Amino acid sequence: MMKRVFIFVIALLSFTGIRAETVNFTASAPRAVAVGEAFRISFNVNANLNNFTPPDFGGFSVMAGPSNSSSTSVQIINGQTTQTFMMSVTYVLQATQEGKLQIGAAGATVNGQTYQTQPVTIEVVKANAPQNNNTQNQAAPQGQPAESHQNISADETDAFVRIHFNKSTVVQGEPMNATIKLYTRQMNIAGFENIKFPVFNGFWSQDIESPQQLQFQRENVNGKLYYTALLRRYILYPQQSGALKIDPFEATCTMQVRNNQQPRNIFDSFFDTPQQVRKQIKSPASTVQVSPLPGNAPASFKGSVGTNFRITAAFNRDSSIANDALSLVVKISGEGNMKLVETPKVNFPPHFEAYDVKVTDNSKTSAAGISGTKQFEYPVIPRSEGSFDIPAIEFTYFDINKKQYVTIRSKDLHLGVAKDPNAGSATNVANINRQTVKTLNNDIHYIKASKLHLHAKNFLFFGTTGYYLLFVLLFALFVILYYSFKNHLKKSQDVVRVRHRKANKIAQHRLKTAGQYLKDGNSNNFYDEVSRALWGFLSDKSGLTIADLSRDAVRETMQRKNAKEEDINAYLQILDECEYARYAPGAGRVEMEKTYNDAIAVISKFVEL
Amino acid sequence: MKYTTAYPHTHTTAHWRIGAFIAALCMASSFAAQAQIVDSIWAKANTLYAAGSYDDALQHYTMIEASGEVSADLFYNIGNTYFKQNNLAKSIIYYERALKLHPEDRDITHNLDIANAVTIDKIEPVPEFFVTTWIKNIRNSASADTWAWVSLALFAFVLLLTWFFFFARSVAWRKISFILAVIVLLFSINSIVFAGYRKTALYDTSAAIITPAVVTVKSSPDASGKDLFILHEGTKVTILETLGEWQSIRLADGKQGWILKYAAEVI
């Protein structure tokens, strides 16, 4: 005590004007005591206590106190100095009756301000016969073997484990706590072996408290005082419905137990060595009733349960350029199992290339559950320019408080994509990645909206009388045309043939007349007759009228009849001679003779044609 | 004379002529009015379909269907509406009906393929010779009337070639036109045969679609018959014969059995 006072004085001297930011005035006392047991209650304040008003101790009698003490601790971490000052007033009390007794509020004045502690409720249980050995141990914070001169009873090895749940029935996805607690009569646990923590099948679990050292507290269990220590605390999210069985906690616990033999001599009692006892401890099996979620879940529900969810979505840029990467950031925050929030589906336009989503989880885990923000980053590259609308992103969760599904939506997203300035340049053309048209979905073709043309059920033209009649008509038409044409052909062919046949005769006749004119020396009539004989011969042979005949027509007709070129020329030359002689009369007899003989020779050559 | 003022292009004053004209006009106008009503129902039904209210759209389509007249477009739209209502069997029935009228329409075949892809029963048809498939495809590429007109056109061509045969000047042309005439005549006859096939298929009532979700096919036409196999909604069957409340059916893969009449709707 002198030392503490000394430190206190030093502290006072060195750090004048100690002032804590917030004054903390608390009472600490065991939660359960036995009748007749002496225990401590201390009132602690982290500031200089000016005036202390003791509380109303009620059904407890004060055995000693008040005694004041104070402590200061200075911490220097990385050059940062923190100091803690603590002052406490301690009483030693004794319970005189059973039941839940209350100690009233204590008052204190610090720097002119008045503070009060919360009233403390202490459970007083019936005294066990050997229960007077804990007086000193209360102050000891850690589990140490009890210093007892009593014989060892069953109490010494009385230890068990229990798993406590803060809720017995939950909805699927609702957070709950499981606390594994160790109970001993003495704080004589030396260690654990073969620890088997429960697996929590059907739950998503995370331990939120797993103390390195056991912190013992006193508790009343069925009228007996136990030291309890928290071994581990979990937060559980049931993932399936029904009665979920929880595996027991198992461990082998080593306890230090005193010999229960009577000391044989003075040395025995002096060198009293505790004995190590191993004990198998196992928590009782327990089940948790998990009720399923209602069945009317919307399609966007992916199993998230909680409260106060919010969703925001935004592109990291308001506008972009084609072929330039950007990302859509979707943030979902709320109280619930953020770890199980699935990546929401975003329907990007088809020519957006979407890449793997980057997920960042900024959630805190506490006994009340998990809360925080989960961020989804969707990297995308728009491959074409344009103005794109992306529908609002939906997120559905089951609200535990409202007991119904709640769908939240981000606001509609809009992105303007400008044309890629590099697109279409020569360097890019080579890199164009041609691809087949992707089939996104298969659906039926749309209805036909053009004008409706109804027709009767027996609408077919095929097989009707009209159909067959058309065949008959076609055939009849053909037959009529055939016969009429044939008739016509016959007629015209007869005329031609007659003329053809008579051609030689007529030509001979005309030439004979021409020979008569030759004898008479009538050159005009002679050339006229020769010319008519030649033209008429051609006309009859070819079936053409004289009016249709010309020099070219003659040549053509002759060629068609395979006449020799020289003969044709000779023929035409005679015609020329005749023509010439008719306009320039006075030709000699010899010339006329020659023309006459030539004409006969030429016609004789064409007779067979 | 009121009528002549109403229709100034009727210049005649003879009473019987006016009467006949007005009678004709009334008939025409009543047909026109009816057509107008059908057109408005059709437009309304299409609007309802576009808006997604398929029940109402179907009601309007069936109003047109109740007139007794047929149209491939109408059946196609009804099929689409049933498909959107997830009534698979009905949609297949109507697609098949539309396909009967317009076997060459690609929209109908596409939608029928999609509807058939959703049916549960996967039936492998008995494999057929590839030439048969070709011929079938060619035959189904046009309707009966198209084939009828094709046959007429080909016949006219045959006559033209015959004309050439008779009146061509050179022997070579006569030979060519004769051979061609024979070939084209064969084609013309073939077109008539195809038209006949299409007509038979159009009035054929042996093809049917299974309408209930599940149907057990029995070995004999009574309830105590052995269960042969199970068919699901939308499967196409051929009705072979009918016996009381039962009908004998055959699948595309050759399996046969008996089902109750109500279980299959004729296309």
| Together in a domain, A100 and A162 | no
Note the pLDDT of residue A4: 60
ipTM here: 0.71
Give the pTM: 0.44
Contact list, A489 vs chain B (CB under 8 Å): 167
Residue with token string 């006749």: A509
Residue A216 clears pLDDT 70, i.e. is over it = yes
- A452 vs chain B: nearest CA distance in angstroms? 7
% pLDDT > 70, chain B? 88
Longest dimension (CA), chain A: 200
Indicate the range of A167-171, A189-193, A264-268, B94-98 predicted with least confidence.
A264-268
Annotate A340-354 with DSSP letters as a single string: GPPPPP----TTEEE
Mention every residue, 6+ apart, whose C-beta is less than 8 A from residue A495. Answer: A543
- Other residues' Cβ atoms within 10 Å of the Cβ of residue B101: 20
| Together in a domain, A32 and A85 | yes
Angle at A227 between CA A226 and CA A233, to 5 degrees: 115
| Together in a domain, A382 and A285 | no
Beta bridge partners of A382: A352
| Together in a domain, A118 and A163 | no
Give pLDDT tens digits for B44-63.
999 999 998 999 999 999 98
Note the pLDDT of residue B9: 44
- A562 vs chain B: nearest CA distance in angstroms? 17
In a domain, residue A260? The reply is yes
In a domain, residue A335? The reply is yes
Strands A60-77 and A25-28: unpaired
Sheet holding A38-45, edge to edge: A25-28, A38-45, A80-95, A60-77
Q: A254: which 2 tokens?
A: 């080593």
Judge contact between A295 and A282, C-beta under 8 A: no
Strands A286-291 and A242-246: antiparallel
Annotate A234-253 with DSSP letters as a single string: EEEEE-S-EEEEEPPPEEEE
The 3-state secondary structure of A96-156, one letter per residue: CCCEEEEECCCEEEECCEEEECCCEEEEEECCCCCCCCCCCCCCCCCCCCCCCCCCCCHHH
Task: Give the integer Cα–Cα distance in Å for A199 and A180.
Answer: 13
A479 contact B CB<8A? no
Nearest residue of chain A to residue B144 (CA atoms): A462
The separation between the first and the last C-alpha atoms of chain A, rounded to the nearest angstrom, is: 162
Contact list, A439 vs chain B (CB under 8 Å): none
Task: Give the integer Cα–Cα distance in Å for B167 and B171.
Answer: 10
Residue B105 half-sphere exposure, CB side, CA atoms within 13 Å? 20
| Together in a domain, A507 and A564 | yes
Segment A15-19 mean pLDDT: 46
Q: Which residue has the higher pLDDT, B162 or A572?
A: B162
| Together in a domain, A176 and A285 | yes
A521 contact B CB<8A? no
Of A176-190, A428-442, B191-205, highest mean pLDDT = B191-205
Q: Do B110 and A444 touch (CB under 8 A)?
A: yes
Judge contact between B76 and B94, C-beta under 8 A: yes
* Mean pLDDT taken over chain B: 84
Task: Give the integer Cα–Cα distance in Å for B265 and A168.
Answer: 57
Segment B190-204 mean pLDDT: 89
Judge contact between A106 and A117, C-beta under 8 A: yes
Nearest residue of chain B to residue A482 (CA atoms): B163
Say which CATH number the domain at A353 has. Answer: 2.60.40
Note the pLDDT of residue B25: 52
- A571 vs chain B: nearest CA distance in angstroms? 29
Torsion of CA A343, A345, A346, A349, to 10 degrees: 140
Q: Do B115 and A467 touch (CB under 8 A)?
A: no
Q: B123: which 2 tokens?
A: 């039936």
Residue with token string 């690609």: B106
Give pLDDT tens digits for A384-395.
888 888 888 888
Domain boundaries, chain B: 2-118, 130-202, 207-266
- A474 vs chain B: nearest CA distance in angstroms? 7
Indicate the range of A50-64, A79-93, A171-185, A221-235 predicted with least confidence.
A50-64
Note the pLDDT of residue A135: 39
Q: Do A462 and B46 touch (CB under 8 A)?
A: no
Q: A115: which 2 tokens?
A: 């503070």
Report in angstroms the alpha-carbon separations of A375 from A331, A339, A354.
Answer: 4, 11, 17
Residue A421 clears pLDDT 80, i.e. is over it = no
Contact list, A471 vs chain B (CB under 8 Å): 152, 155
Give pLDDT tens digits for B94-132.
999 998 888 888 899 999 998 888 888 888 877 888 899
Note the pLDDT of residue A575: 81
Give pLDDT tens digits for B242-259.
888 899 999 888 889 999
Annotate B225-252 with DSSP letters as a single string: SPEEEEEETT-EEEEEEEETTEEEEE-T
Residue with token string 């005439």: B181
Torsion of CA A574, A575, A579, A580, to 10 degrees: -30
- What residue numbers bound the domain in which A357 lies? 301-423
CA nearest to B52, candidates B94, B80, B74: B80
Note the pLDDT of residue A6: 57
User: In this complex, how many residue pairs, one in chain A and one in chain B, have their CB atoms less than 8 Å apart?
Assistant: 93
Task: Give the integer Cα–Cα distance in Å for B71 and B63.
Answer: 13
Contact list, A487 vs chain B (CB under 8 Å): none
Residue A251 clears pLDDT 50, i.e. is over it = yes
Angle at A74 between CA A68 and CA A76, to 5 degrees: 170
Report in angstroms the alpha-carbon separations of B86 from B82, B83, B118.
Answer: 6, 5, 10
Judge contact between B4 and B10, C-beta under 8 A: yes
Q: B130: which 2 tokens?
A: 């590839």
| Together in a domain, A508 and A600 | yes
Judge contact between A462 and B199, C-beta under 8 A: yes
Q: Which residues of B155-169 are buried (b: 16+ CB within 10 A; e: fewer)?
A: bbbbbebbbbbeebe
Contact list, B155 vs chain A (CB under 8 Å): 471, 474
Sheet holding A107-110, edge to edge: A51-53, A107-110, A113-116
Nearest to A462 among B49, B162, B199 (CB): B199
Kindly calculate the radius of gyration of chain A based on its CA atoms and give it in whole angstroms. Answer: 63
Residue with token string 């100034």: B8
Q: How confident is the model at residue A263 (pLDDT cuts 50, 70, 90)?
A: low
Q: Which of A125, A145, A174 is a domain's end point?
A: A125
Helix (H, G, I), strand (E, B) or coil at B70: strand
Segment A491-495 mean pLDDT: 75
User: What total of structural domains would you count in chain A?
Assistant: 4
Residue A492 clears pLDDT 80, i.e. is over it = no
Residue A143 clears pLDDT 60, i.e. is over it = no
Residue A136 clears pLDDT 50, i.e. is over it = no
Task: Give the integer Cα–Cα distance in Å for A389 and A392.
Answer: 9
Tell which of A452, A459, A461, A493 to mutate to test the B interface (max B CBs under 10 Å): A452
Q: Which residues of A327-366 are buried (b: 16+ CB within 10 A; e: fewer)?
A: bbebbbbbbbbbebbeebebebeeebeeeeeeeeeebebe
Of A48-52, A412-416, B11-15, highest mean pLDDT = A412-416
Note the pLDDT of residue A145: 41
- B107 vs chain A: nearest CA distance in angstroms? 6
Note the pLDDT of residue B92: 93
% pLDDT > 90, chain B? 36
In a domain, residue A439? The reply is no
Pick the CATH number of B2-118 from 1.25.40.10, 1.20.120.80, 3.30.210.10, 1.10.760.10: 1.25.40.10
In a domain, residue A146? The reply is no
Of A33-37, A511-515, B135-139, highest mean pLDDT = B135-139
| Together in a domain, A558 and A520 | yes
Indicate the range of A38-52, A559-573, B2-16 predicted with least confidence.
B2-16
Judge contact between A313 and A393, C-beta under 8 A: yes
A459 contact B CB<8A? yes
Judge contact between A138 and A269, C-beta under 8 A: no
Judge contact between B18 and B4, C-beta under 8 A: yes
Tell which of A462, A472, A560 to mutate to test the B interface (max B CBs under 10 Å): A462
Q: Is the dihedral of CA B16, B21, B22, B24 positive or negative?
A: positive
Segment A328-342 mean pLDDT: 85
Note the pLDDT of residue A142: 40
Nearest residue of chain B to residue A481 (CA atoms): B163
B68 contact A CB<8A? yes
In a domain, residue A458? The reply is no
Strands A286-291 and A169-171: parallel
Identity of the residue numbered A272: D
Nearest residue of chain B to residue A450 (CA atoms): B73
Task: Give the integer Cα–Cα distance in Å for B72 and B62.
Answer: 14
| Together in a domain, A319 and A418 | yes
- B68 vs chain A: nearest CA distance in angstroms? 7
Nearest to A474 among B68, B77, B159 (CB): B159
CA nearest to A367, candidates A178, A199, A200, A215: A178
Contact list, B38 vs chain A (CB under 8 Å): 452, 454
Give pLDDT tens digits for A508-529.
888 888 888 888 877 778 888 8
Say which CATH number the domain at A535 has. Answer: 1.20.120
| Together in a domain, A516 and A602 | yes
B195 contact A CB<8A? yes
For the B207-266 domain, the top CATH level (class) is: mainly beta
In a domain, residue A487? The reply is no
Indicate the range of A47-51, A301-305, A485-489, B77-81 predicted with least confidence.
A47-51
Note the pLDDT of residue B258: 92
Beta bridge partners of A122: A101
Q: How confident is the model at residue B15 (pLDDT cuts 50, 70, 90)?
A: low
Task: Give the integer Cα–Cα distance in Å for A347 and A323.
Answer: 19
- A543 vs chain B: nearest CA distance in angstroms? 16
Beta strands in B107-232 (DSSP E): 207-210, 214-218, 227-232
In a domain, residue A576? The reply is yes
Note the pLDDT of residue A11: 52
% pLDDT > 90, chain A? 2
Q: A358: which 2 tokens?
A: 């980057």
Indicate the range of A73-77, A372-376, A482-486, A550-554 predicted with least confidence.
A550-554
Q: How confident is the model at residue B82 (pLDDT cuts 50, 70, 90)?
A: very high
Nearest to B199 among A463, A475, A477 (CB): A463
A483 contact B CB<8A? no
In a domain, residue A110? The reply is yes
Nearest to B70 among A442, A454, A477 (CB): A454
Note the pLDDT of residue B3: 42
Nearest to B67 among A443, A444, A454 (CB): A454
